[in-house]
Amino acid sequence: MPFLNLCRPMRGLWFCAVIATPVMSRAQNFKTPTPDELHMTSIPEVPGAEAVILNRDELDDDDNHMRMFYYRVKILSEGGIKLGDVELQYDKRSDQFGNSIADISGRTIQPDGTVVPFSGKPHDKLLYKDKENAYSARVFSMPAVQVGSILEYRYSVRWDDHSFSSPNWIVQTDLFLRDGHFHWKPTDKELVTRTRGGRENFTSRIVWAKSLPKGTEVKSTRLANQRLDLELHVSNIAPFGNEEYMPPIRSSRYHVFFYYTPYTSSQDFWSTEIKNWSSDINKFAKVSGTVQQEAQTAAAGATTDEDKARKLYAYVMTLENTDYTRKRSTQEERAEIKSADDVLKRKRGSSDQIAMTYVALARAAGLQANVMEVTNRNNLILDANWMDFNAQLTDSIAVVRYGSAEHFLDPGSRYTPFGHLQWAHTMAGGVRQDSTDPSKFFSITPGDTYKYSHTARVADLQLQSDGHMAGTVTVTYEGSPALDWRQVALRTDENELRDKLKKEIEQLLPGGTEVQIVTVTGAADSEAPLKVSARVTGTIGNAMGSRVVLPAVLFEANQASRFPHATRQQGVYFPYTEYRQDAVRYTLPPGFTVEALPAAKISSQLKSSALYSQTATQTANSVTLRRDLILGDVYFPLEQYEGLRTFYSDFEQKDHGSIVLKRAGVTVVAPAAGSGQ
């Protein structure tokens, strides 16, 4: 949440906050439950729901430097009892605004109306700690929680008397909300914000970015004293479904993000912020003597601009990227590294610092190069109406011109191959240093074709007559899947990497399969495939008398339906396009033949977006099944979900086909009529 420090000189005066008398909110008094609430056992809107939020209130009072919360939660099943343990998270160490959680009170109301007051003592629980942050939670447990209880509690968050905070209302949670009320009383004082590079601005305007149900709006009222008052009433808000392959949650769920701003319009905001950001980039990426010398050394022998770009890219990839290798606090990095010069002298830097250093080296080598700041597509989707640069644009990449074309490079993403972007930076919105035309502030990064992200899974298995098997499995990763594993390797040691890969292969094979990793190659070579070889033993298929039944598509036998539900809240959002290939050869036990096999060739297609094929071949003593899946698009809007689901359901059914082996020379005789068998 953005905080503004008011205790700063304003036009020659010092202005500090004055604590006013606390204001009463409608959350100050507990509510008498209705008979329907006491006897409620379910809600028709969400069959099987563990709980429902009956009421939720939030009052944000800037002049009193506090935020008050009120909840009434009805427990509907055993699974909802865990909601009686409440954790209110905050960053205890890095919180420079003096946030404190206090005024906790509550009660539990049983289905018969009995009231059990909260008399416990809240305590702090450490969730995570590093050099800079100490993420903690103020924890308290409601009394006598059982199925049918109504939990009613409130608490406040207070902060430094000299700071002001604009709220972020997260309207949609994972529980159904019957009634919600959000209320912000912003200050009418003129504030001073300190933004990028220590720049100070006078701030008197309030704006907001929102995603709300149709017909729901923030009510803005100018009171008799000319103070602005902002409210939002919502009712019957469906829970935010944590669906597979969904767009980033921060962009998708209902919310309102407020902020104080000195800007008069979004165009004014973006043009000024981009200008300031670009100026800061140029300051960091200044071509000093050290940068010039390092560029000459790293690009030595290059005969073309592309050669220069490649050599410089390979060089910065050798620098220690501290985002992956060791956790340094933000304060440490800011104190020690303020320029590309510093990165090159210390041979280390964060992802963004290394990306900016690459641009400095490219400029020193005579290339046209700029930084592009992009949204991480794993977290959110760029919203031009949300005037918060730092909250949205978090990652730096490089745009370099050579060979009469622009090329998007990702030097700050360790092990990303030259000429490509980490998948979270592909097809992502961002701003560029050369964004001078107001109508072209925003750009979209390119994506890769499905051929770039390739996974091949190959098994060669020798079968026994009782269904046991032994053999080898080889998995080869290229493109985005390989990058994912390489960055896992950066954060672990070799033994841990091998253990994670072992578990990955075990999940693909029938339960009880023993997997032994033999070799892992290419884990530190971004230009080569990452290849994992393993020996496997176990039971595969079912032996039934003279027959053995095997899965036709071995690596998908354990895969549940990806889209089991007929309806969905969000469109489908895959990380990247990809190409998956499977090949499994079963060598038959002596004396067995193939009785049943899937069709020689099976295929399905979803327009130009996806393609599936399966082929089956056999020899005298073996059967080979091949499966290909091509995914050519990453986003399918909600109106395309039915077609996508049909496509997946169709090929998943084919994936679960069987191969039947039969012992040669065995004849099965049907029992005679009336034999009783």
pLDDT tens digits for range 56-99: 999 999 889 899 999 999 999 999 999 999 988 765 543 444 56
Write down the pLDDT at residue 667. Answer: 52
Q: How far is CA 554 from CA 5, 92, 631, in A?
A: 61, 49, 20
How far is residue 429's CA from residue 139's CA, in Å, rounded to a whole number?
Answer: 39
Q: Are 654 and 628 in contact (CB under 8 A)?
A: no
Write down the pLDDT at residue 125. Answer: 79
Write down the pLDDT at residue 91. Answer: 54
Write down the pLDDT at residue 158. Answer: 86
User: Start-end ranges of CATH 2.60.40.3140 in the chain?
Assistant: 3-262
Give kind and range of the element (H or E) at residue 108.
Answer: strand 100-109
How far is residue 341's CA from residue 90's CA, in Å, rounded to a whole number?
Answer: 36
Write down the pLDDT at residue 90. Answer: 66
Q: Are 165 and 193 in contact (CB under 8 A)?
A: no
User: Start-end ranges of CATH 2.60.120.1130 in the chain?
Assistant: 454-663
Nearest to 400 by CA among 520, 299, 545: 299
pLDDT in tens, 295-335: 999 999 999 999 999 999 999 999 999 988 765 555 555 56
Write down the pLDDT at residue 327. Answer: 58
CATH: 2.40.480.10, 3.40.640.10, 2.60.120.1130, 2.30.30.90. Which one for 454-663? 2.60.120.1130
Write down the pLDDT at residue 677. Answer: 37
Q: Can you give 387-452 as a three-state secondary structure string?
A: CCHHHHCCEEEEEEEECCEEEEECCCCCCCCCCCCCHHHCCCEEEECCCCCHHHCEEECCCCCCCC
Write down the pLDDT at residue 668. Answer: 46
In CATH, what is the architecture of 3-262? Sandwich (2.60)
Low-confidence residues of the chain: pLDDT under 70:
1-28, 90-99, 127-135, 194-198, 326-335, 435-439, 665-677
User: Start-end ranges of CATH 3.10.620.30 in the chain?
Assistant: 268-444
How far is residue 489's CA from residue 475's CA, in Å, rounded to a whole number?
Answer: 16
Write down the pLDDT at residue 201. Answer: 74
Is the whole-model pTM more than 0.85? no
Q: Are 322 and 333 in contact (CB under 8 A)?
A: yes
Assigned CATH for 268-444: 3.10.620.30
How far is residue 218's CA from residue 232's CA, in Å, rounded to a whole number?
Answer: 5
